[in-house]
Chains A and B, each alone.
Chain A
Amino acid sequence: MKRSSSELKVAVTVWGDRVSPVFDAARTLLIAEINNTKIIHTYYLPFMPEPVSQCVRVLQAEEVVVLICGAVSQEPADALEAAGLEVIPFITGNIGVILENLVAGCQEWTALKMPGCARTVCCRGRIRKGSGQTQKVSETGTTMKRQKRDATGPRRS
């Protein structure tokens, strides 16, 4: 069945109800199908991050376009990005909050990032310019609204 253009599949490496702290050692993927700012379906998938080529194949077979994960080392991150996946790394927190952030079309992940993520570089590795409400087209072609997030620090569950 062909996916409609507004439909987006996002994978999150999970550990219980949190984002898995290390992608390289994660065991479970939560796959969320998002359509018009609504999560229409979620399911879990066991997976192995190594070998990374196999992991890429699994994500491609699931038609995932965005991967949200915790700390990830250079080698798998490069391979995932080379395969055309948009990787949002060094994210931490409760899955509910992450998905909420995602469906809200929020591109600002500062409040959900792990400590040590350089302040001038956002978690997607790009230099952050300006702030506030800006429209931005991501690498995968999905249009998301960038919002300024309340900088009260990470939410904890």
Chain B
Amino acid sequence: MKQENNKDGHVTEIILESISDGVFTVNHEWRIMSFNRAAEEITGIPRSEAIGRYCWEVFRSNMCEGDCALKRTMKEGKAFVNTSTYIINSERQRIPIAVSTALLRNEKGETLGGVETFRDNTVVEELRKELKGNFQLGDMVSRSTLMKRIFQVVPQIAESDSTVLIEGETGTGKEMLARALHSLSLRSEKPFIAINCGALPDSLLESELFGYKRGAFTHAVKDKQGYFSAAGGGTIMLDELGETSPAFQVKLLRVLEEREYQPLGSVEKHTTNVRIIAATNRDLAHLVEEGSFRRDLFYRVNIVRLQLPPLRERMEDIPLLADHFIGKMNRLRGKAVSYLSEESLEVLMRHSFPGNIRELENIIEHAFILCSSGPITLNHLPQSLLHIDSVPPASPQDSGQLQHAVHNTEIEQIQAALQRNDYNRTAAARDLGMHKTTFFRKVKRLGITLPSRDGRHIPGK
């Protein structure tokens, strides 16, 4: 019997040494008791140095401090499978891994400690990145057609060195886009400075941007360089440009036209070599019409205009963005949150996101406070979101009435479009913003009888 046990142990050892997954076991004091060959290879730590040490000194994962899978297993007595995390090996490299944990028990069922197996996911992560690269620009991710168009032109715009105007609602990622433009430009090695023009009064904004000379005003005890000087050769992002006063707009216009500025209190002009990226959440063209924004400055900054769509116009990005933020927060917080549950995603898809991507990021951050591992469920979402979205289910009668109303409206709209376009089917479809195939499908479904006249034939010919 004893001989048989020894034989089994030997076989287990051979198996452990031959597999490509790293395996180690710990005792109740968290000290490593065994460490297989693959574990040595993945961590870069020889077995002789690993055995007897605390697991966190050897494993060095971002989960160790915050949400250790092995600790949870030991506490709850249950196994966890395939938790994604990373470790730092002896070469200071981050190695992405998938971790599984279980209790280590002897033949009598007594718990001896824990066992952790981990797989090097470097290749998988590289492939994932390669795949994701198609949807990513800097820190921005998107699958929407609107954003892909922007992603396609950004590298060329970045290289051009022209002044760029970025328009978009608050929270749509204007600063991220500006950073991406800077990092892809030839100025990437130089500083990138973002300043919120709307947050500062005129005089302060001027002194921040252009600097001042000693004695220019009370308390100006020494010269101070401004952002234009500090950004030398780099990029300055002027956010909320639409909020600036006409007086400041004149000064900025001069900098853009002459590439020169005067620090406050100075009689000398300084030349500048910075690229300006202007950003606003207002419609500058409309402000020009209103007379609150200088037309000449508008034309100066409106050389290349990029319009960032609000999140409600790219709802298809919500799952991708949520995954992106979950990954980011897992890295920052050392947690192992896996994904959004279906119900949570449904609630998010129903939300209108007036705060755009920033609001989505905040929702995920909120969920991370309440959830440390596994999927984000409805319980982890902000109550306000659930309250707004908890529309009482429609009664079958209500639902029938609604369907009837939709049906009638569709018939009315299609008939009106046909009349407007002299019964030309293709033109009517275009007028309604749909493909002609969809148009014909709807006509058939709604039982609309089309007249013989089709707008293409001229009677009598």
Q: Contacts A71-B88, A116-B43, A116-B44; is A24 near B93 (CB within 8 Å)?
A: no
Q: Chain B residues near A74 (CB, 8 Å)?
A: 92-93
Q: Chain B residues near A111 (CB, 8 Å)?
A: none
Task: List 27 A–B pairs whose Cβ atoms lie within 8 Å, in order of A's numbering.
Answer: A21-B64, A21-B65, A22-B61, A22-B64, A22-B88, A24-B94, A25-B66, A25-B331, A25-B333, A26-B65, A27-B66, A48-B332, A50-B331, A50-B332, A71-B60, A71-B88, A71-B92, A77-B92, A89-B92, A114-B60, A115-B53, A116-B46, A116-B50, A116-B89, A116-B90, A117-B90, A118-B90
Q: Which of A25, A115, A118, A156 contacts B65 (CB 8 A)?
A: A25
The 8 A CB mask of A69-83 against B (1 = contact, 0 = none) is: 011111001000000
Q: Which of A21, A50, A77, A116 contacts B56 (CB 8 A)?
A: A21
B57 touches A21 (CB 8 A): yes
- CB contact list, A15-48 vs B, under 8 A: 15, 20-22, 24-27, 48
The 8 A CB mask of B46-64 against A (1 = contact, 0 = none) is: 1001100110111011111
Q: Which of B60, B65, B89, B331 contacts A15 (CB 8 A)?
A: B65
Q: Report the separation of the CA atoms of residues A24 and B65 in the bound assembly, to the nearest whole angstrom.
A: 11
Please tell me if A110 contacts chain B, counting CB pairs below 8 Å: no
From B45, B62, B331, residue with most partner A Cβ within 10 Å: B62
Q: Report the separation of the CA atoms of residues A48 and B65 in the bound assembly, to the nearest whole angstrom.
A: 14
Please tell me if A107 contacts chain B, counting CB pairs below 8 Å: no
Q: Chain B residues near A114 (CB, 8 Å)?
A: 57-58, 60
B57 touches A25 (CB 8 A): no
User: What residues of chain A have their CB less than 8 Å away from a CB belonging to chain B?
Assistant: 15, 20-22, 24-27, 48, 50, 70-74, 77, 89, 92, 114-118, 154, 156
Q: Chain B residues near A20 (CB, 8 Å)?
A: 65
Give chain A nearest CB distance to B11 CB in angstroms: 29
Residue of B nearest to A16 (CB): B65
B61 touches A115 (CB 8 A): no
From B46, B60, B66, residue with most partner A Cβ within 10 Å: B60
Please tell me if B334 contacts chain A, counting CB pairs below 8 Å: yes
Give chain B nearest CB distance to A152 CB in angstroms: 13
Q: Give the interface size bracket for B toward A.
A: 20 to 34
Q: Report the separation of the CA atoms of residues A20 and B57 in the bound assembly, to the nearest whole angstrom.
A: 10
Q: Report the separation of the CA atoms of residues A22 and B50 in the bound assembly, to the nearest whole angstrom.
A: 17
Q: Chain B residues near A71 (CB, 8 Å)?
A: 60, 88, 92
Q: Chain A residues near B90 (CB, 8 Å)?
A: 116-118
B45 touches A116 (CB 8 A): yes
B65 touches A73 (CB 8 A): no
Q: Report the separation of the CA atoms of residues A26 and B88 in the bound assembly, to the nearest whole angstrom.
A: 13
Q: Chain A residues near B89 (CB, 8 Å)?
A: 116
Residue of B nearest to A27 (CB): B65
From B46, B50, B56, residue with most partner A Cβ within 10 Å: B56
Q: Which of B54, B57, B62 contacts A24 (CB 8 A)?
A: B62
Give chain A nearest CB distance to B61 CB in angstroms: 7
Q: Which of A21, A73, A115 contacts B49 (CB 8 A)?
A: A115
Give chain A nearest CB distance to B248 CB in angstroms: 28
Q: Chain B residues near A73 (CB, 8 Å)?
A: 88, 92-94
User: What residues of chain B have their CB less than 8 Å away from a CB belonging to chain A?
Assistant: 43-46, 49-50, 53-54, 56-58, 60-66, 88-90, 92-94, 331-334
Q: Report the separation of the CA atoms of residues A72 and B56 in the bound assembly, to the nearest whole angstrom.
A: 13
Q: Report the separation of the CA atoms of residues A74 and B56 in the bound assembly, to the nearest whole angstrom.
A: 19
A72 touches B57 (CB 8 A): no
A72 touches B88 (CB 8 A): yes
Q: Report the separation of the CA atoms of residues A71 and B56 in the bound assembly, to the nearest whole angstrom.
A: 10
Q: Report the separation of the CA atoms of residues A114 and B32 in the bound assembly, to the nearest whole angstrom.
A: 14
Residue of B nearest to A74 (CB): B92
Q: Chain A residues near B331 (CB, 8 Å)?
A: 24-25, 50
From A21, A48, A73, A89, residue with most partner B Cβ within 10 Å: A21
B58 touches A116 (CB 8 A): yes
Q: Report the separation of the CA atoms of residues A154 and B99 in the bound assembly, to the nearest whole angstrom.
A: 27
Residue of B nearest to A28 (CB): B65
Q: Report the separation of the CA atoms of residues A117 and B331 in the bound assembly, to the nearest whole angstrom.
A: 24
Residue of B nearest to A51 (CB): B332
Q: Report the separation of the CA atoms of residues A19 and B441 in the bound assembly, to the nearest whole angstrom.
A: 67
Q: Chain B residues near A24 (CB, 8 Å)?
A: 62, 88, 94, 331
Give chain A nearest CB distance to B170 CB in angstroms: 21
Q: Report the separation of the CA atoms of residues A50 and B90 in the bound assembly, to the nearest whole angstrom.
A: 21
Q: Chain B residues near A156 (CB, 8 Å)?
A: 54
Q: Report the separation of the CA atoms of residues A74 and B373 in the bound assembly, to the nearest whole angstrom.
A: 27
Residue of B nearest to A26 (CB): B65
* Known contacts A22-B65, A115-B45, A116-B50; 14 further A-B pairs (Cβ under 8 A): A21-B56, A22-B61, A22-B88, A25-B334, A70-B60, A71-B88, A73-B93, A74-B93, A89-B92, A92-B54, A114-B57, A116-B43, A116-B45, A156-B54
Residue of B nearest to A49 (CB): B332
Q: Report the separation of the CA atoms of residues A25 and B88 in the bound assembly, to the nearest whole angstrom.
A: 11
Q: Chain B residues near A26 (CB, 8 Å)?
A: 65
